[in-house]
Amino acid sequence: MSAFKLTARSASARRGTIDTPHGAVDTPVFMPVGTRGSVKGIAPDALRKLGASIILGNTYHLFLKPGLDIVGKAGGLHNFISWDRPILTDSGGFQVFSLSTLRDIRSDGVEFASHIDGSRFFLGPKESMDIQKRLGSDIIMAFDECPPYPCSEKDAELAVARTTQWAKICRDLHPEDGRSLFGIVQGSTFSAARERSAKELVELDFDGYAIGGVSVGEPEEEMLKAVETVVPFLPEDKPRYLMGVGTPRQIRAAIRMGVDMFDCVLPTRLARHGSAFVGDGDTIPVKAARYKEDFTPVDPECSCYCCSNFTKAYIRHLLNVGEMLGPILLTIHNLHHYLDMIRKIKAEMMLPNGIPRAR
């Protein structure tokens, strides 16, 4: 099992290190999302230059395309995508929520109709573990049920029960080979269900614990309440991962609560739509007409390749004529914004006053 070592604290916020077969990951950490084996809009070498230490892949999508045979013949996911640093793979449990019209939940797993061609296939804890092991994931996520928002308390409790049942199977199938297996806490917006889920998973002694079922449409205050509810029940000596979150301000708030790991599609998705993060986490629509003759950087305080070489006027031009370079430059900038935020938080954690709130 992979080791997690705490290296510094500031109130509830933590710094630490997760050892994996492909190197150490220093926490807090933001993990760019590469659902299908690629972080959209940026090459692996550029990601390394930005300082990304770990990325995500998705079990469901990689299983469908390119498929395990292709990845296996390539020598595993790391070789296939030319990424020599750690990879975390989601279990496919999120697709239980996101593809709700294309699946049927059973006690032993979920039967899906492929969103690509409609073909039927089954994904349960055994199948998810097998796929993730064959992909070569450094951090494997237990298969879970992510309920929708809103849902009834009864449905939340049923999802918790299934998640615990499936987590036990995943735990029994986990190889002792240096890779980590994380359990995923569910419970929707119900504190009692969240507490029950956390306690049941902690009893199974996972290598780390994720807070799942958030950022699925609930108000921000409900998401932060879920974090506040769950964290006290998670072990101090294991990493804590808030799945699919979020904005810079949400990440800073969760770090202050004691969360260590984050992923989110926002930086790359907003870049593709022409928006950039600036300052403490605000966004500006670079594609807007008001930037037509703005010959200043996207963010004058930013040192990324985009801001060091190009202006808002030029990037707006690229976006408006459909040139790929526009979204690529904004992707570089937005990911730099997130990764640089994390670097600054780590430095702030060594200061007497800890992590300041965003202005």
* Beta bridge partner(s), residue 55: 87
Q: Scanning the structure block, which residue is given the tokens 């590469």?
A: 34
Q: Could you give the residue numbers annotated as active site?
A: 90, 263
How many other CB atoms are there within 10 angstroms of residue 48's CB atom? 13
Contact assessment for residue 195 and residue 233, using Cβ atoms and an 8 Å cutoff: yes
Q: Scanning the structure block, which residue is given the tokens 């108000």?
A: 219
Report pLDDT digits (tens) over 5-50.
999 999 999 999 999 999 999 999 999 999 999 999 999 999 999 9
pTM for the full predicted model: 0.95
Q: What are the strands, taking DSSP E only, across 194-259?
A: 208-211, 240-242
pLDDT at 79 over 70: yes
Distance from CA of residue 282 to its chain's centroid?
A: 20
Coil, strand, or helix at residue 174? Answer: coil
CA distance 76 to 216: 31
Would you identify the CATH topology of the domain 4-264? TIM Barrel (3.20.20)
pLDDT at 353 over 90: no
Domain ranges for the chain, please list them.
Answer: 4-264, 265-359
How much is the mean pLDDT over the chain? 95
Q: Scanning the structure block, which residue is given the tokens 């974090």?
A: 227
Coil, strand, or helix at residue 110? Answer: strand
Report pLDDT digits (tens) over 139-161.
999 999 999 999 999 999 999 99
Contact assessment for residue 125 and residue 166, using Cβ atoms and an 8 Å cutoff: yes
pLDDT at 1 over 70: no
